[in-house]
Structure 1
């Protein structure tokens, strides 16, 4: 177990998941989500560790110093591109997937890891804050949200200029949480060809 170690939390959440589940048969839905999760994981170029896969989200983490905002945004772009490439392959057979997209919550703080069997779980206040921030009032489907705590830690270490985003604060049961968010344009809306998606092989 790592005790008293600081690290970043990077939660990738699928926007539109509730509507998707309510309108998709279990067998099809399970297979589709596996393909989409794999597309995100395969684009994990910063070698984040995975703590949990939580229904519609993957909880990535990494101990050590915070990464630059530019690196965080670039990583999200790669995951979003991979995700939408998979959407293009699926949507001609499963049109409902066209409404799915990604958002990310990025936070930083002191946390630890404990093991249960073969699973490694995170523990710490940053986990609570990050999960609260999944329920925010941004009103967009595709964005990166980076907490003020992350940015404060980042600038104290590197003193780098930050890309411009939109600032906001929201009151939760854990207190006031402030952040900067960076909107992204959803893509992946190209038309289906005559043969695209005619047959998808499930693996």
Structure 2
């Protein structure tokens, strides 16, 4: 160990943090970590999909805490696993998953359809359990899901073990979550995503104007996912 007053030798620092010398002192000081420095290679362009459980608030408010937690977790897992890595689960928050991808695959709509089918298959399986008489399992089929899809630029903001989909384009689906679509189980697409769909795929959608707050009014397309299952809930 250097004696007191002896200049500290030059340090080698291999982590994300940087060591710099204070001009007023012979001792180094540590600057804030630079692991959040801009890196263009981290930014991707592709679909950003907010997949949201409809009926979540009422469900959680009227069911047992531990049972509802398990039910919601299994539904979210079913949604994620349905993608088989085709869309990445960039962020999980409460009743929703934000999926991201790079480029728009021609099979994109079928991926969303399969997520919806997987959600309701899991809900039926949970409702059919005879070893659990809780309200959460009894009411799980009152839940459904909707997806809101935008196409734009995104990157992942990682803080410790958590991740968040970051960027102005990542905000757009959230701004459209409150809308006038006459359904609680649908796929909604913005113009930037719709223009990348084939003419045949675009024919599936009805069109209307919606307000996206600071992003202005936009012409969105939507179709009802409920036609993919039978019978539909009452």
TM-score (norm 1): 0.80
Q: Secondary structure at the match of 1:185?
A: helix
**Residue equivalent to 1:5:** 44
Q: SS of the residue aligned with 1:127? A: helix
Q: SS at the partner of 1:136? A: coil
Residue in structure 2 matched with residue 55 of structure 1 by the alignment: 94
Secondary structure of 1:33's match? helix
On the 8 A contact 2:176/2:211 being kept in 1, the answer is no
User: For residue 96 of structure 1, what is the aligned residue in structure 2?
Assistant: 139
Q: 2: CA distance between counterparts of 1:15 and 1:51?
A: 20
Any conservation in 2 of the 1:88–1:189 contact (CA below 8 Å)? no
**Separation in structure 2 between the aligned mates of residue 139 and residue 39 of structure 1, nearest angstrom:** 26
Between 1 and 2, higher relative CO (CA 8 Å, sep ≥ 6) is seen in: 1
Measure, in 1, the Cα distance between the counterparts of 2:51 and 2:172: 15
Aligned residue in 2 for 1:198: none
Contact 1:45/1:75, CA 8 A, preserved across alignment: no
2:104 maps to 1:66: yes
**Larger-gyration structure (1/2):** 2
Aligned pair partner of 2:170 in 127, 143, 148: 127
Unaligned residue ranges in structure 1 (runs of 5+): 191-203
Deviation readout 1:134-187 (Å, 9 max, x if unpaired): 1111121221111111123x16xxxx3232110011123211132110112263
Q: How many residues align?
A: 182
RMSD of the alignment, in Å? 2.1
1:48, distance to aligned residue in structure 2 (A):
1.6
